[in-house]
A and B are shown apart, each in its own frame.
Chain A
Amino acid sequence: MKSMSAWERVMLARNPQRPKAKDLLPHIFEDFIELCGDRHFGDDAALYGGLATFEGTPVTVLAQSKGRNLQENLECHFGMVSPEGYRKAQRLAKQAEKFHRPIITFVDTAGAFPGKEAEERGQAEAIATSLKLFATLKTPIIAIVLSEGGSGGALALSVADRIYMFENAIYSILSPEGFASILWKDESRAKEAAELMECTSFDLLNKGIIDGIIEESEGGLHQHQKTAILLLKEILRKELGILSKKKVKQLLDERYKKFRVMGNV
């Protein structure tokens, strides 16, 4: 499937049939318990979070959630997280650190929610604080880019020790539409933008941004998800094994270096 164009992958990543985090979680974790609220203002459905066990090990799961039907789509702002969502993630992340639980995040968003209230309640501060917090959190973090990883809204959940992408996921500075609109003042050139943006899993692996790709079968994740789930579980098993053996100082030094060298040209 390596011969596909970036735009074809964008289409696959956005296919309405493509499984969402809520579809996949029951196949990966046991006993998921949802935890809600940022303890300041509200609860953001775009950020689905809670506790679960992965093959017997307690973990904290933070998943961006686009919703699986129109009702859910609207509740979740199509996966565009508001400050309350990022602050809920921060709260659960600190809890994970306190109780020595690894954190597993699922990234699936076109970007942070560009709303009036989101700005009023500090979207910029919420993302910035997440970036800073996750950089020094004393527990292993693994990020999985499920479909779309767009802008700072995605980055806020992917400051991690390991970052994996599903094969047909995209991860970029902005959505191809936003990119085309900024660069050429023309949203309709999104397809052209996607090819230029180097946003596919293979591009990101080449650039050293991600650690690996979770292969999808022919036709994409929505056609056949079983094998991909098995691959993901294998990765989690392996990486949790490696990361949980590291001393905190080593874990944090390596995480710092991972991002420190990005773009050092």
Chain B
Amino acid sequence: MNQLFKKRKEQISIVQQFFNRVVKTEVKVVEASQLVICDGCKQAIAPESIKANQGVCIHCGYHMRIGAYDRLSLLLDEGTFREIDKKRTSFHVNDFPGYKKKLYQYQQAANVNEAVVCGSGQISGVKVAIAVMDSYFMMGSMGSVVGDKITKTIEMATQKKFPLLIVSSSGGARMQEGILSLMQMAKTSAALARLDEAGGLYISILTHPTTGGVSASYAMLGDIILAEPKATIGFAGRRVIEKTINEKLPDHFQTSEFLKEKGFVDQVVTRHQLKDTCSKLLQLHQGVNL
């Protein structure tokens, strides 16, 4: 399977993979014309124009979900990414009914082995430790392997004195792994506490969606928290809340803009400005970690 994987990767460039992904899973394909429908404005758009615009709708500015490798190529200086734990999978974690099959299916559909891609790289020449979640893999849910890879990335930041970036995109903890998934919230938060004590910088980037156990652990613990426009961010699910309080919630509830208004996000930053914003923040902290 690995061979196949490699072969496929050689065949298509990162840009093309991105193009495929958008067509395949995010938006509905309109007949043979290959046009895609934007989730934000429901208009049909040529995939080339979405691709050229970093996955952002050319009509309404809606930020579509993008995969981990596409995100890395937007954020990091070209050719600087060094991945860790690329091959780790979760097949051996437990025998929960249907879990292994699901993992296999998602590995086929998404271009990743698990819901997070971790490593080090450079942003405008500054070395960083970085973890990027991929919501195309089981809704970016956090199981043991995801939690452990993120913890390792945080520990790398602490040990090597790299600033840390985590791009969150997740529905929360992974049900199939039960209590062990829940414990990843404690594990990642404990690692962040140590980074904090060591004086390390952590920039948390929230993208659509950042909810449940991920929002209630590392996503909300950044020294600086940035969010992409109109991302859904919150702890409890919208429907659960509506059922509990027996009323309908306003449209903008649990959006990036809503969280900024309530004081939980520093800035809402468009995808086009994200690298530049991170780069400026990193420059401002240069030497601080040393």
Partner-B contacts on A (CB < 8 A): 112-116, 118-125, 127-129, 131-133, 135-136, 151-152, 155, 159, 171-174, 178-179, 182-183, 196-199, 203-204, 207, 209, 255-256, 259-260, 262-265
B residues in contact with A262, CB < 8 Å? 144, 180, 183-184, 186-187
CB of B199, distance to nearest CB on chain A (Å):
14
Given A128-B217, A132-B193, A196-B97: A173 and B186 interface contact (C-beta under 8 Å):
no
Interface string of B95-131 (1 = CB under 8 A from A): 0110000000000000000000000000000000000
Interface centre among B151, B187, B216, B233 (most CB of A within 10 A): B216
Taking a contact as CB atoms under 8 Å apart, the answer to whether B185 and A119 are in contact is no
A135-B175 contact given A173-B181, A196-B96, A259-B187, CB 8 Å threshold: no
Residue contact B253 to A116, C-beta cutoff 8 Å: yes
Contact of A152 among B96, B216, B240, B249 (CB under 8 A): B216
Q: Name which of A124, A135, A152, A265 has the most chain B CB atoms within 10 A of its CB.
A: A124
Given contacts A173-B173, A255-B190, A263-B181, 4 further A-B contacts (CB under 8 A): A118-B236, A119-B235, A129-B221, A196-B96
User: A77 CA to B245 CA in the complex, in Å?
Assistant: 11
Q: How far is the CA of A128 from the CA of B216 in the complex (A)?
A: 5
Interface residue total, chain B, C-beta cutoff 8 A: 56
Q: Is the beta-carbon distance between A132 and B215 smaller than 8 angstroms? A: no
Chain A at the B interface: mostly helix, strand, loop or mixed? helix
Report the minimum CB–CB distance from B222 to chain A (whole Å): 10
CB pair B190–A128 under 8 Å, yes or no, is no
B22 in the interface, Cβ–Cβ < 8 Å?
A: no
Are A122 and B264 in contact (CB-based, < 8 A)? yes
**Which chain A residues border B212 with CB–CB below 8 Å?**
152
Residues on the A chain within 8 Å of B164, using CB = none
30 examples of A-B residue contacts, CB within 8 angstroms = A114-B240, A114-B241, A115-B236, A115-B244, A116-B249, A116-B253, A122-B264, A123-B235, A124-B220, A127-B235, A128-B218, A128-B219, A131-B185, A131-B186, A131-B189, A132-B192, A132-B221, A135-B190, A136-B190, A151-B173, A155-B182, A159-B186, A197-B178, A198-B179, A204-B179, A207-B179, A259-B187, A260-B191, A262-B144, A265-B92
Which residues in B have some Cβ–Cβ distance to A below 8 Å?
92-93, 96-97, 143-145, 147-148, 151, 173, 175, 177-187, 189-194, 196-197, 212-213, 215-221, 233-237, 240-241, 244-245, 247, 249, 253-254, 262-264
Task: Say yes or no: B193 contacts A263, CB within 8 Å.
Answer: no
Contacts of B218 in A (CB 8 A): 128
Return chain A residues, CB-CB under 8 Å to B234. Answer: 119, 123-124
- Contacting pair B178 A173 (CB below 8 A): yes
Cα distance, A179 to B240, chains bound together (Å): 13
A125-B264, A151-B182, A263-B181 in contact; A179/B216 too (CB < 8 A)? no
Evaluate contact between B213 and A115: CB separation under 8 angstroms: no
Q: Are B197 and A152 in contact (CB under 8 A)?
A: no
In the assembled complex, the Cα of A211 lies from the Cα of B200 at a distance in Å of 33
- Complex Cα spacing A20 to B213, Å: 27
List chain B residues, Cβ under 8 A from A129: 220-221
Across the A-B interface, the 10 shortest Cβ-Cβ residue pairs: A263-B144, A114-B236, A135-B190, A131-B189, A124-B215, A263-B180, A127-B216, A124-B235, A262-B183, A128-B220
Closest Cβ of chain A to B4, distance in Å, is 25
